[in-house]
Amino acid sequence: MRRRWAAGIAVAAAIGALSACADDTDAYCDELEKVSGPFAELSAGDFSQIDQVMDDMTALEEKAPEEVQDEWQTFGSTIRELQAAVEEEGLTIAEMIELAQEPELSEEDQARLAAVDESLADLDLPSVGDASGEISQHAERTCDLSLNGTDDDQQ
């Protein structure tokens, strides 16, 4: 169960490096570059800012260019479901990840993680992965920006 959560969070984190301002390519690329740094930290295993990152990603959904609007809607709705399930158990996403990595949990914490897992059983993670891939490809084509938070000129 905890591994499925970790995989879901990893997908969400990877997706994150991707969005911005509707028809203004420069603004889109600027915003995308600005938020890609924290996503690189997630990829490196630092989840301390994940709650803010998730909030930033859902806010960017509204600014997504038309070419990836559907993908951002898929991603944003998944993040909102994740946040709601975690908050229902009185946790933040960072706290949930921390619990999921603990080798031994109290019965209460096991029950909290099980409740979150049950709430998210119907999530379509493959669709989120597909959306992430499309958003990532668009970001690389449009902004010459890779998912690791650097643009290709800097690599």
pLDDT tens, 107-117? 999 999 999 98
Residue 2: is its pLDDT beyond 80?
Answer: no
Q: Which of 74-78, 101-105, 124-128 has the highest mean pLDDT?
A: 101-105
Residue 129: is its pLDDT beyond 80?
Answer: yes
Residue with tokens 């998730």: 54
Q: Residue ranges of the domains in the chain?
A: 2-154
Long-range contacts (CB closer than 8 Å, 24 or more residues apart) made by 64-70: 64/19, 64/20, 64/22, 64/135, 65/20, 65/21, 65/22, 65/23, 65/25, 65/28, 65/138, 65/142, 66/22, 66/23, 67/138, 68/18, 68/19, 68/134, 68/135, 68/138, 70/131
Confidence (pTM): 0.68
